[in-house]
Structure 1
Amino acid sequence: MSTGYTVVVPHERWPSNAAMQASLDARGYPVALVGGAPDAPFAVGSRGLELRLDGRSLTLVGASAAKVGAAAFARDETNDVLAGMGAAFRARDGDWHFGVGLGSEPREWRAAFLVMAALVQDFGGYGYETQTESHGDNAWAAALIEDAEQFRLQAAATPAAVPQPDLRLADPGGWTQEKTAGVVCVALGGAGLWVSLSTGNLLISAIGVMMVAMGVAVFFIRRKIA
């Protein structure tokens, strides 16, 4: 289950990629946007919002950014949601909506909170979240920053996954079923060759050779461990 956040930004103040990065840098938020021309509007790609947090790659797959034009605005429920929360703010035709759905990964929460805080603090955004009905501008952004620090501490306290050795090609050693099958194949193949020498039957001879070869291959196979 994910929690959804939205920040509405006036269309005339929606930043370029360069302006967004400058905001993050000026505030000391360790988020670096990835991709996109500097002068192009800040945007979310088809894979999500790709960035680096503390120098490590991260993609907010649940992120989106869209300018809500006249046709979409007529059907948009943002203002109904805000009114239901008691917010005085209202979105306008043409405003940009940045949204993100967050799950259980602390690094994703931290990165998303820092991005949303910058949109509010430097570009006149108004944010809200429907589950707790939290909403606001600068005070709301300040709460995001406090929570982002808690997510940083939580991520730091989570032990990194320890790589496990790949044992699929390991040889268990000793006598195995494969070796038994190999011995049987060699024995049957040898018997076939002996019969072919006695009878002159080339078909039996060919089958005997194949059985011996198969037995040798099976005997020396490296057994896979599930």
Structure 2
Amino acid sequence: MGYIYKVAVPQGRWPTARALDAAIERSAGVRILVRSDRADNAFGTAPDESLAVLVDDCPHILDSRDYVFDADEDLFELRDIMRDAGMDIAQLEGAHVFSTTAYRDERDWRVAGALMKALVREFGGYGMDFQTNTAGTLDWADGLDEMLAADRNAYLALEADIESRQQENVSEHELRRRAFDRLSELFGNRGVVPGRRHTDI
């Protein structure tokens, strides 16, 4: 189980690996690992849906993928999920989508944040957080660090609840409701939909 984030970038502005790496804030301590002879190719994740990066000069693998959105092959009903969350589905038209999943490791959240901010700020991306059901462009990116910190705290709390579920005999639905209640408290009910998880989009 992980928390999923996406950025829809206009196809004509999808960056090369070199351009995206250059756009990442150096203070994030994140660099994209790419062969020099492929640095000027379009940025892309590996076929096994992973992305190799450096975090503070140490290798790390991020669970991620990229694809060109095709309305006829929207297997996970991304448009419907976005519509339910009040997001702008027009942003998907002809978009190249970057999708990533963050887990317990703190580096997942750092890398996800660094990549998403770069894609939004420098390449016209539309960012989406399916935990708080918030989305947007520059203002969204400006608040991303705070949002990811809150998401990670909620994720770790949910994991802790799951680990103790056998002792408490609490259903998974109830645990997820608690996590959404916590996010609602943190974000003032900004579009959070209790009971709905987007783990397969």
Q: Does the aligned pair in 1 maintain the 2:7–2:127 contact within 8 Å?
A: yes
Q: Does the aligned pair in 2 maintain the 1:110–1:149 contact within 8 Å?
A: no
Alpha carbon RMSD of aligned pairs, Å? 2.4
What's the CA shift for 1:111? 1.0
Paired with 1:13 and 1:69, the residues of 2 have a C-alpha distance of 17
What's the CA shift for 1:150? 8.7
Aligned-partner SS, 1:22: helix
Letter in 1 for 2:40: D
The runs of 5 or more residues in structure 2 that have no matched partner are: 152-201
Q: Count residues in correspondence.
A: 148
The match for 2:102 is: 102
Asked if 1:66 is matched to 2:61, the reply is no
The match for 2:132 is: 132
Paired with 1:35 and 1:137, the residues of 2 have a C-alpha distance of 27
Q: Does the aligned pair in 1 maintain the 2:8–2:92 contact within 8 Å?
A: no
Asked if 1:90 is matched to 2:85, the reply is no
Aligned-partner SS, 2:127: strand
Paired with 1:40 and 1:23, the residues of 2 have a C-alpha distance of 16
Paired with 1:128 and 1:12, the residues of 2 have a C-alpha distance of 20
The match for 1:56 is: 58
Scaled by the length of structure 1, what TM-score is found?
Answer: 0.58
Paired with 2:82 and 2:150, the residues of 1 have a C-alpha distance of 27
More strand by percentage:
2
What's the CA shift for 1:148? 6.3
The match for 2:23 is: 23
Paired with 2:101 and 2:149, the residues of 1 have a C-alpha distance of 19
Asked if 1:43 is matched to 2:48, the reply is no
Asked if 1:13 is matched to 2:21, the reply is no
* Cα deviations by residue, 1:41-65 (Å, 9 ceiling, x for unpaired): 11001341101011111110x2111
Question: Compared with structure 1, are the counterparts of its residues 70 and 2 closer, same or farther at alpha carbon in structure 2 (3 Å cutoff)?
Answer: closer
Percent of residue pairs bearing the same amino acid type? 29
Residues 108-119 of structure 1 mapped to structure 2, 5 A cutoff? 108-119=108-119
Paired with 1:93 and 1:137, the residues of 2 have a C-alpha distance of 16
The runs of 5 or more residues in structure 1 that have no matched partner are: 152-226
The structure showing larger relative contact order (alpha-carbon pairs under 8 Å, at least 6 residues apart) is 2
Question: Compared with structure 1, are the counterparts of its residues 42 and 77 closer, same or farther at alpha carbon in structure 2 (3 Å cutoff)?
Answer: same
Letter in 2 for 1:124: G
* Higher Rg: 1
The match for 2:33 is: 34
* Cα deviations by residue, 1:51-92 (Å, 9 ceiling, x for unpaired): 1011111110x211111246425x563332222222335234
Asked if 1:121 is matched to 2:152, the reply is no
Scaled by the length of structure 2, what TM-score is found?
Answer: 0.65
Letter in 2 for 1:53: V
The match for 1:206 is: none
* Cα deviations by residue, 1:147-199 (Å, 9 ceiling, x for unpaired): 56899xxxxxxxxxxxxxxxxxxxxxxxxxxxxxxxxxxxxxxxxxxxxxxxx
Paired with 1:28 and 1:89, the residues of 2 have a C-alpha distance of 32
What's the CA shift for 1:4? 0.7
